[in-house]
Chains A and B, each alone.
Chain A
Amino acid sequence: MSTSWRFFRFASPAAFYPLAGKLVPWFGAVAAMLAAIALYLGMLRAPTDATQGDAYRIIFIHVPAAWMSMLLYVVMAFWAAIGWAFNARLASIVARAIAPTGAMFTFLALWTGALWGKPTWGAWWVWDARLTSELILLFLYVGYLALVSAIDDTRRADRAGALLAVVGSVNVPIIYFSVVWWNTLHQGASVSVTAAPKMASVMLIAMLLMTLAFWAYAFAVVFVRTRAISLEREAHASWANDAVRAARPEPGMST
């Protein structure tokens, strides 16, 4: 097993640490640039919606946040499972680094949804299948974070977290298809690969650009957190000391 893993050059914290450090500024810059364009298009150029007025402009952050909340959960569960099955340290670290960002996007999806629901449905919250399953996703993220931080033995915590993450991943298709399977107050999918777009193209472009911005943001933040956790866990290793010493000559910005 260990020989086959040598092909994965960046599959160890020691190799990934400097690579992630180089990529973070680029992902950050791309996120800022795309978010600026998306906000310009969505908030200044896009026309007022005929039925919802300007309340619909919440869509430009609500849908990207909701997509990221589900995508990050799947990615977290995937790396947690890889870390468990192949005893790969970096994969487990990445899974743990994703969780707080995923939880944040889940919270933002719920928050922006509540502020959109009040003016359009007349309610901040309803126990509708889509909303309830998204709330369960938040509990899964929080439960994962609580579980891994409650177990002192790092690798045991990783395995317990992986089990929770993998079992909990059944919730993701439930969220996605909830608007199809149940009669929900929440509207159906706004974007589909098979059907023609249901909204003006400037709105669609703004929403997709914001999704890419959130995606690049998630990469940047998760990579910095991966670097932090790698140093915390492998403080005894010579690579960690070398990496910190290499960063010391430039005391300004070293992400």
Chain B
Amino acid sequence: MGQRRRARRTAGTGNVDVNWNSAGEFIAMGGYGLYVWGAYAVTVACMAAEPVLVALRHRAAQRALSDGGRP
């Protein structure tokens, strides 16, 4: 019961029904943790890396212009 209340508090809203009773249960994903988190980890990694790479490419294009561009 106390665990249940903690799960509710983590969610941040007063009166909601979170599916998990504890953080450990959430991480275990009913025994499918490796598959679920493996899928999410790679997705997050890709979608975090791509904006950085594309911003660096844009920055490089800007720098090439301001260095080598006409005065």
Chain A residues at the B interface, C-beta cutoff of 8 Å: 28, 40, 43-48, 53-55, 57-58, 61-62, 65, 100-101, 104, 107-108, 111-112, 115-116, 118-119, 217, 220-221, 224-225, 227-229, 231-232, 235, 240-241, 244-245, 247-248, 254-255
Contacting A119 at CB < 8 Å: which of B16, B32, B69?
B32
Smallest Cβ distance from B64 to chain A, in angstroms?
A: 7
Q: B6-57: which have CB < 8 Å to A?
A: 11, 16-20, 26, 29-32, 35-36, 38-40, 42-43, 46-47, 50-51, 54-55, 57
Task: Check A45–B42 contact: CB distance below 8 A.
Answer: no
Smallest Cβ distance from B45 to chain A, in angstroms?
A: 10
**Chain B hits for A58, CB < 8 A:** 35-36, 39-40
Can you identify 30 A-B contacts, CB atoms within 8 angstroms? A40-B11, A43-B26, A45-B18, A46-B19, A47-B19, A53-B31, A54-B31, A58-B39, A62-B39, A104-B47, A107-B46, A108-B43, A115-B36, A115-B38, A116-B35, A217-B47, A221-B51, A221-B54, A224-B51, A224-B58, A225-B54, A227-B58, A228-B57, A228-B61, A231-B62, A235-B61, A235-B64, A240-B65, A241-B69, A244-B65
Task: Check A53–B43 contact: CB distance below 8 A.
Answer: no
CA distance A217 to B1 in the complex (A): 40
Known: A44-B19, A228-B58, A245-B66. 14 other contacts (CB 8 A): A44-B18, A46-B19, A55-B30, A57-B29, A61-B39, A61-B43, A108-B42, A115-B36, A221-B51, A224-B51, A225-B57, A229-B61, A235-B68, A244-B65
Majority secondary structure of chain A interface residues (helix, strand, loop or mixed): helix
Contacting B51 at CB < 8 Å: which of A46, A119, A220?
A220
B residues contacting the other copy or chain, number (CB 8 A): 35
Task: Check A231–B35 contact: CB distance below 8 A.
Answer: no
CA distance A116 to B54 in the complex (A): 30
Contacting A235 at CB < 8 Å: which of B16, B26, B43, B69?
B69
CA distance A206 to B29 in the complex (A): 17
**Chain A hits for B65, CB < 8 A:** 231, 235, 240-241, 244
- Answer whether A112 and B29 are a contact pair too, CB < 8 Å, given A46-B19, A224-B55, A245-B66: no
Closest to B69 in A: A241
Task: Check A44–B20 contact: CB distance below 8 A.
Answer: yes
Closest to B38 in A: A115
- Answer whether A54 and B40 are a contact pair too, CB < 8 Å, given A44-B18, A232-B61, A241-B69: no
**Chain A hits for B11, CB < 8 A:** 40, 44
Contacting A53 at CB < 8 Å: which of B30, B64, B68?
B30
